[in-house]
Copies of this chain bind each other. A is one copy, B any other.
Amino acid sequence: MNKRIGARTIALPSRPSLEGFAAYVGKKEKAGPLGEFFTHYDEDTTLSQDSWECAESELQKRAFQLAKSAAGIENGDISLMFGGDLLNQCIASGYATRGSSIPFAGLYGACSTMAESLALASLCVDGGYARRAAAITSSHFCAAERQFRFPLEYGGQRAPASQWTVSGSGCALVGTHDDARVSVGDICFGAVCDLGVCDINNMGCAMAPAAADTLTSYFKDTGTTSADYGAIVTGDLGAIGSPVFLDLCARAGCDIGNHLDCGKMIYDRETQGVYAGGSGCGCSASVLCAYLLPALQRGELCDILFMATGALMSTTSFQQGESIPGVAHLVHLLPPKPRA
């Protein structure tokens, strides 16, 4: 049975549902504009662990535990887990799932990983390959800073176009369709785009072309426009990448009047000193699992297109003078069916 729509879009005819979801964040995220929705957080950025990397793993463990509790299930009920993070060799995810006995497929899509994991988990449930599948990602400001930029102790000056890596994790558990729950309609994996942006402090700009490419491909495949959705949600383009994304869409003939960006939503840029906004795998993951999915579940949001974006460079490729490729994956999320 062909489940393809147009060139890139994949239909999930059974419309898998999200049985449970949860986010776990740090104190800066709790202090931001979405603070009331982040009901689970730790004031201690180390989460009582011995290292920032262990703290990031702990964020995943706690988000996963909360998502399982929300769904009322245990490890043995999960057939397959898709997870990833920004750390070298994705250690936050590998160590978080260690000992769980859940089959684990590790992903690397940089900040696009939440959409990638949710797309693959949904696909596996739709096809009957998993009874229930988990999607999880994380990031931690302190672990990311010392890996990608400077150790915090160095006190490096941040660039004006830079974004603040979110300390947080989001986890969603995908199961078979249930009219009473949020469901996944179709998905669209993105191609790697690179328009030559070389500024490591301006990731939003580097990722915007990929987001525009995936969204316009999806619109073409499905014959829809942004007006057919409650919101077009990008991951972490931030204050500088977002207008570039909207401009690229407009040039391709798609005017987007209902754009939200998790990187712009999670912090107050006026008072929290984050410059261009939030970023990291944990940014879109925590905003999705703490704010967007509950709003969809309550019927406060119509269909959304959740499109997390990732920058696929490393410090090595940057130091070698390479430009920054981006990728964006899209998941179409639908609210529960209204009761008759």
Chain A interfacial positions (CB closer than 8 Å to B): 1-4, 8, 10, 50-51, 53-54, 79-80, 84, 86-91, 94-95, 97-110, 116, 120, 123-124, 126-131, 147, 188-194, 312-317, 320, 322, 325, 327, 329
Q: Which residue of B lies closest to A214 (CB)?
A: B103
**What are the residues of chain B within 8 A of A89 when measuring CB–CB?**
86, 88, 108, 110, 312-314, 317
State whether B54 touches A103 (Cβ < 8 A): no
For the complex, give the distance between the alpha carbons of A327 and B89 in Å. 13
**What are the residues of chain B within 8 A of A84 when measuring CB–CB?**
108
- Checking B50, B53, B101, B126 against A127 with a beta-carbon cut-off of 8 angstroms, the contacting residue is B126
Q: Provided the pairs A88-B89, A108-B90, A128-B4 are in contact, do residues A102 and B312 lie with their beta carbons within 8 angstroms?
A: no
State whether B194 touches A99 (Cβ < 8 A): yes
State whether A3 touches B100 (Cβ < 8 A): no
State whether A128 touches B192 (Cβ < 8 A): no
Q: Provided the pairs A108-B84, A129-B10, A194-B98 are in contact, do residues A53 and B316 lie with their beta carbons within 8 angstroms?
A: yes
> Quick one: which of A3, A98, A101 has the most chain B CB within 10 A?
A98
- Checking B98, B123, B129, B193 against A192 with a beta-carbon cut-off of 8 angstroms, the contacting residue is B98
For the complex, give the distance between the alpha carbons of A314 and B51 in Å. 14
State whether A315 touches B88 (Cβ < 8 A): yes
**What are the residues of chain B within 8 A of A99 when measuring CB–CB?**
192, 194
Give, as a whole number of angstroms, the nearest-CB distance from A53 to chain B: 6
For the complex, give the distance between the alpha carbons of A98 and B191 in Å. 8
**What are the residues of chain B within 8 A of A4 when measuring CB–CB?**
79, 128-131
State whether A127 touches B131 (Cβ < 8 A): no
State whether A3 touches B90 (Cβ < 8 A): no
**What are the residues of chain B within 8 A of A103 when measuring CB–CB?**
8, 188-191
Q: Provided the pairs A312-B90, A314-B88, A316-B53 are in contact, do residues A189 and B80 lie with their beta carbons within 8 angstroms?
A: yes
Q: Provided the pairs A3-B127, A320-B54 are in contact, do residues A105 and B116 lie with their beta carbons within 8 angstroms?
A: yes
State whether A3 touches B116 (Cβ < 8 A): no
State whether A108 touches B107 (Cβ < 8 A): yes
State whether A316 touches B87 (Cβ < 8 A): yes
For the complex, give the distance between the alpha carbons of A105 and B191 in Å. 8
**What are the residues of chain B within 8 A of A130 when measuring CB–CB?**
4, 10
**What are the residues of chain B within 8 A of A101 when measuring CB–CB?**
191
Q: Which residue of B lies closest to A11 (CB)?
A: B129
Give, as a whole number of angstroms, the nearest-CB distance from A5 to chain B: 11
Give, as a whole number of angstroms, the nearest-CB distance from A227 to chain B: 25
Q: Which residue of B lies closest to A116 (CB)?
A: B105
Give, as a whole number of angstroms, the nearest-CB distance from A64 to chain B: 13
